[in-house]
Structure 1
Amino acid sequence: MFENVIVRRPARSMVEGITSAPELGRPDYTLALKQHEAYCEALRRCGVAVTVLEPLEAYPDSCFVEDTAVITRKGAIITNPGAPSRRGEAAEMLPVIRGFFPEERIFSIGAPGTLEGGDVMMVGDHFYVGRSARTNREGIAQFLAILEGMGLSGSEVPLEHVLHLKTGINYIERETMLVSGEFVDRADFASFRRIVVPEEEAYAANCIWVNDRVIVPEGYPRLEAKVRQAGYSVLTVDTSEYRKLDGGLSCLSLRF
């Protein structure tokens, strides 16, 4: 169960954020703020305390706090984002993490290693980490060594098409994963119950489990129905403006 969530309000500069889908248009900042507020309210309905950080105008993508740290039950790992324009974001997150963990339980990924939290999927005490354009072999090696030192485990998952691991697969507890695209038949996850995301709703693979509820992006009815049919209580939140920046539900928070 989660007790805390950290989020950061989007900066006005978010309209200049990184995107692989310029055809979706630039984000509407006013709408993005409203969607962020609704996201925070959904999290509170799940029974967690939400820490809301101030915007960072110098970092257009800084609302995607998940990429700046990985938080385990044993401690926190400050990342080193692979996107050069985002590397200062992790340093901004460090003092916030110090408010939750003592210094001896905070670790970090150092250059030349890169790692973004969107490539890390927690399944109990095991962490799957995607090797992507943003997370390299050295970053993964450092990450796995830190996990081992904590008494936790991890394994690498090479990615073929998606930006981040959790773009295409997400664990929603109860030995269940949402899978899409390249992950539908991946052997790494064969032992789990898998809910296949309809191809036309692939974006919705990025759902989050928070204290026995699953938050699903609004506007993806087929996947929402599948999650409900699997026995979960569902909340929906519109993330249309974050999708324009390759972002989804998990990207917007650190949950622990």
Structure 2
Amino acid sequence: MINVYVNDETAPLKTVILGTAKGIGDTPDLDDAYDPKSKEHIAAGTYPKEADMVAEMEAFAKVLEKHNVKVYRPEIIENYNQIFSRDIGFVIEDKFIKPRILKDRKEEIKGIQYILDKINPAQIVSVPEDVRVEGGDVMPWNDHIFVGYSEKEDFEKYIVARTNKAGLDFLTNEFHNKKVKGFQLNKSDEVAKDNALHLDCCFQPIGNNQAIIYKDGFKFEEDYNYLKDYFGEENLIHITRDEMYEMNSNVFSISPKVIVLEKNFTRLAKILEEKGFTVELVPYAEISKMEGLLRCSTLPLEREK
């Protein structure tokens, strides 16, 4: 059995699902892409190739295993994108939440069913019919759950709006003991540099009391200010619009001290090392072309209490 437990973003990681690029198949048609960065690379002929993405994910797997993390991988569904396992489930406290996501991705959960079968069924919660929520928008952080979401107008307007108000309300009702705080994000179906696809594309806690943040990812300044006040301005690492586009906030914490970064994030790596973090660098630039990175491709099942 797997004892699921996650209460924050950084406690020492014990068990994780890392997605897979195997079987992803050929470059999709432009009409089948559902984020602006993928569209950009399909149009430019620079969409990533399966072999390159497989190599990147194997490098990440090696780093996780080096730190004694138990790594599960999805069973391969041919001609299907199974890289971003973060969106098809997430753990808060001792509950595994099975969300409803884009219909184009509804088969993905089948690839991890053999892992879900190792979890006590009483700990698995399926969200109601009207709820839309993806794991990239959900961040447990001690007494808080931070949630990126879109109100009705934006949710109905943008394909890149993935979590609705019903998703926020569901989490509020499910976790009474937490302060569930929603943040509306800036969305764009066409311009990747103006699009915060998920909350982890513009914000992520690190260490014990610090965070990486892109201020303009938030639709309302008061939401940014909430996080600034919560963490303290001196504990925020601000990233630029270009760094947001390259996914600099989408790093992954193995522990409060160890953070995995894409190897080209040189400015961020230097800042983190100066702050005393151990930085593990992996190549992930090809995967980033699909508007997702290290946090997006992991689904933590158990962190230390």
TM-score, with structure 2 as normaliser: 0.76
Q: Determine which structure has greater relative contact order: mean sequence separation of CA pairs < 8 Å that are 6+ residues apart, divided by chain length.
A: 2
8 Å Cα contact 1:46/1:213 also seen in 2 = no
- Does residue 7 (structure 1) correspond to residue 18 (structure 2)? The answer is yes
TM-score, with structure 1 as normaliser: 0.90
| Structure 2: distance between partners of 1:31 and 1:58 | 16
Larger Rg: 2
How big is each residue's C-alpha offset from its partner over 1:130-174, in whole Å with a ceiling of 9 and x where there is no partner? Answer: 0041101112211222222xx444221111241100001011131
- Any stretches of 5+ residues in structure 2 without a counterpart? 1-11, 151-160, 188-195
Aligned partner of 2:282: which letter? V
Structure 1 residues 15 and 144 mapped into 2: Cα distance closer, same or farther (>3 Å)?
farther
Q: Which residue of 1 aligns with 2:239?
A: 197
Q: Which residue of 2 aligns with 1:54?
A: 75
Structure 1 residues 129 and 160 mapped into 2: Cα distance closer, same or farther (>3 Å)?
same
| Structure 2: distance between partners of 1:254 and 1:96 | 11
| Structure 2: distance between partners of 1:209 and 1:251 | 12
Runs of 4+ in 1 over 4 A off after TM superposition: none
Aligned partner of 2:258: which letter? R
Aligned partner of 2:213: which letter? V
- Does residue 156 (structure 1) correspond to residue 182 (structure 2)? The answer is yes
- Does residue 77 (structure 1) correspond to residue 97 (structure 2)? The answer is yes
Q: 2:201 aligns with which of 155, 160, 167?
A: 167
Q: CA offset at residue 209 of structure 1? A: 1.0
Q: How many residues align?
A: 251
Q: Which residue of 1 aligns with 2:276?
A: 231
| Structure 2: distance between partners of 1:181 and 1:217 | 21
Q: Which residue of 1 aligns with 2:105?
A: 86
| Structure 2: distance between partners of 1:28 and 1:120 | 29
Q: Identity percentage over the alignment?
A: 22
Matches within 5 A, 1:1-256: 1-10=12-21, 11-13=23-25, 15-16=27-28, 18-21=34-37, 22-24=39-41, 25-57=46-78, 59-60=80-81, 62-81=82-101, 83-90=102-109, 92-99=111-118, 101-132=119-150, 133-148=161-176, 151-161=177-187, 162-182=196-216, 186-190=224-228, 191-192=230-231, 193-202=235-244, 203-211=247-255, 212-255=257-300, 256=302
Aligned partner of 2:16: which letter? V
SS where residue 248 of structure 1 aligns?
coil
SS where residue 27 of structure 2 aligns?
helix
- Any stretches of 5+ residues in structure 1 without a counterpart? none
How big is each residue's C-alpha offset from its partner over 1:46-74, in whole Å with a ceiling of 9 and x where there is no partner? Answer: 221111222222532x2100001111232
8 Å Cα contact 2:24/2:80 also seen in 1 = no
| Structure 2: distance between partners of 1:246 and 1:134 | 14
